[in-house]
């Protein structure tokens, strides 16, 4: 059985590794190469410029604004989204009052709530972004209309037009669009935790707060850690680009208050014809993403709990 096992294993790995190298590794290598050129993205002609693009990044105020906004999303978006997802999932599965037939259960109507929370996942990102853009409209939006209806006529913010709150408005839309997925994900994880654990904790006098931090969170930690990395990547990549591109003024404004790194890469490539410089920004984004993933994996490492 052991004779020739390495050749046998290698035979199965050759094709998937070749596909991975061509479609995943190769684009990264090409992007790094282009970041050292003055390629416009429209012409095959280019020349090597060394580290000029990276030196230019250090003096680019818009780039640093984009870095600050991306880091803000990176730090806050996973915290808010996962915290809400954990809270709602806990209440829908084990946070309800005791009933006659079950010691442990969710709040009444938990099945309906799960459907409602998951509903944003059915909608595409552009639709969600447009819905929130209409809601934020200072003239005819739902939010300012609500303030008028309750007598707060003097409270009429220009939600997406105010540099102080524009990024927070975009972040709120991103949280609403993603929290339902984690409610369902964490609910699936909680359903696999034996009910005996909760019943024993209740007999010992534990409340909801204790059962959450002593039982639920430790047993779901691997799922939470994976969700944290996934949300961080969304904050730095496609999701942030789509929401800012559709919702913000400019896009990226006002005064670069919502500019994020993936949007800046897009603008430099297709608007300004500076693909070489854009790939240097993209390499910087890759480094930030890898550092974030490594930090989360390192800080979140703990002994695996089994049940």
pLDDT in tens, 115-141: 888 888 888 889 999 999 999 998 888
Q: Give the residue with greater pLDDT, 300 vs 51.
A: 51
Look up the pTM and report it.
0.86
Q: What pLDDT, on the 0 to 100 scale, is given for residue 301?
A: 67
| pLDDT band at 109; cut points 50, 70, 90 | confident
Q: CA dihedral in degrees (27, 30, 34, 35; nearest 10)?
A: 70
pLDDT in tens, 168-205: 999 999 999 999 899 888 988 888 888 788 778 777 77
Q: Look up tokens 């209440």; give the residue.
A: 91
Residue 111 has pLDDT above 80, yes or no: no
**Which residues have CB under 8 Å from 301's CB, separation 6+?**
none
3-state helix, strand, coil in the chain (%, to 5): 70, 0, 30
Q: Does the structure show a pLDDT above 80 at 105?
A: no
For residues 186 and 88, give the distance between their C-alpha atoms in angstroms, rounded to a whole number: 9
36 has a pLDDT exceeding 70:
yes
Backbone φ, ψ for residue 174 (5° rounding): -65, -40
Instruction: Return d(Cα 166, Cα 177) in angstroms, integer.
Output: 17
Query: What are the distances in angstroms from CA 175 to CA 141, 145, 179, 265?
Result: 19, 22, 6, 23
Per-residue confidence (pLDDT) for residue 3, from 0 to 100: 64
Q: Which residues contact 143 (CB under 8 A, 6 or more apart)?
A: 135, 136, 157, 159
Q: Tell me how far apart the alpha carbons of residues 62 and 239 are, in angstroms, rounded to a whole number.
A: 20
DSSP 193: S
Mean pLDDT of 24-46: 89
Cis, bond preceding 254 (omega within 30 deg of 0) = yes
Q: Taking residues 257-276, what's their average pLDDT? A: 92
Residues 6+ apart with CB under 8 A from 112: none
State the greatest distance between any 2 C-alpha atoms of the chain, in Å, as a whole number: 82
Beta bridge partners of 37: 48
Residue 121 tokens read as 């996942």
Asked if 257 and 183 count as a contact pair (C-beta separation under 8 A), the reply is no
pLDDT the model gives residue 97: 59
> Over pLDDT 90: what percentage of the chain?
38
Quote the distance between the C-alpha of residue 264 and its chain's center: 18
Domain spanning 61-300: which superfamily? MetI-like (1.10.3720.10)
Q: Is 80 exceeded by the pLDDT of residue 304?
A: no
What digits encode the pLDDT tens for the residues 214-261? 888 888 888 888 888 888 888 888 889 999 999 998 889 899 999 999
Whole-number pLDDT of residue 152: 82
CA distances from 147 to 133, 139, 176, 200, 233 (A): 17, 12, 21, 48, 35
**How does the average pLDDT of the chain come out, rounded?**
86
Cβ–Cβ < 8 Å for 31, 53: no
């Amino acid at each position: 059985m052991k004779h020739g096992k390495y050749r046998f294993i290698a035979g199965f790995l050759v094709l998937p590794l070749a596909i991975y190298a061509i479609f995943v590794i190769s684009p990264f290598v090409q992007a790094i190469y282009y970041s050292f050129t003055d390629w416009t993205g429209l012409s095959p002609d280019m020349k090597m410029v060394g580290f000029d693009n990276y030196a230019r990044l250090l003096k680019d105020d818009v780039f640093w604004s984009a870095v600050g906004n991306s880091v803000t999303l990176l730090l806050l978006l996973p915290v808010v989204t996962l915290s809400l997802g954990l809270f709602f999932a806990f209440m829908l599965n084990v946070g309800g009052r005791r009933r006659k037939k079950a010691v442990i259960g969710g709040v009444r109507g938990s099945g309906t709530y799960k459907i409602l929370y998951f509903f944003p996942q059915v909608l595409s990102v552009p639709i969600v972004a447009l819905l929130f853009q209409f809601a934020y409209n200072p003239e005819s939006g739902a939010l300012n209309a609500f303030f008028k209806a309750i007598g707060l006529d003097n409270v009429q913010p220009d939600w997406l037009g105010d540099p102080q709150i524009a990024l927070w408005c975009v972040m709120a839309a991103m949280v609403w669009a993603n929290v339902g997925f984690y409610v369902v994900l964490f609910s699936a994880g909680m359903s696999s935790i034996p009910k005996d654990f909760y019943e024993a904790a209740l007999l010992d006098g534990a409340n909801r707060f204790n059962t959450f931090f002593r039982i639920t969170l430790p047993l779901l930690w691997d799922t939470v850690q994976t969700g944290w990395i996934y949300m961080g990547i969304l904050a730095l990549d496609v999701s942030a680009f789509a929401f800012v591109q559709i919702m913000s003024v400019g896009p990226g404004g006002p005064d670069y208050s919502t500019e994020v790194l993936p949007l800046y890469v897009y603008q430099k490539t297709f608007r300004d014809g500076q693909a070489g410089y854009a790939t240097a920004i993209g390499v910087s984004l890759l480094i930030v993403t890898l550092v974030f993933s490594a930090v989360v994996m390192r800080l979140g490492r703990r002994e695996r709990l089994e049940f």
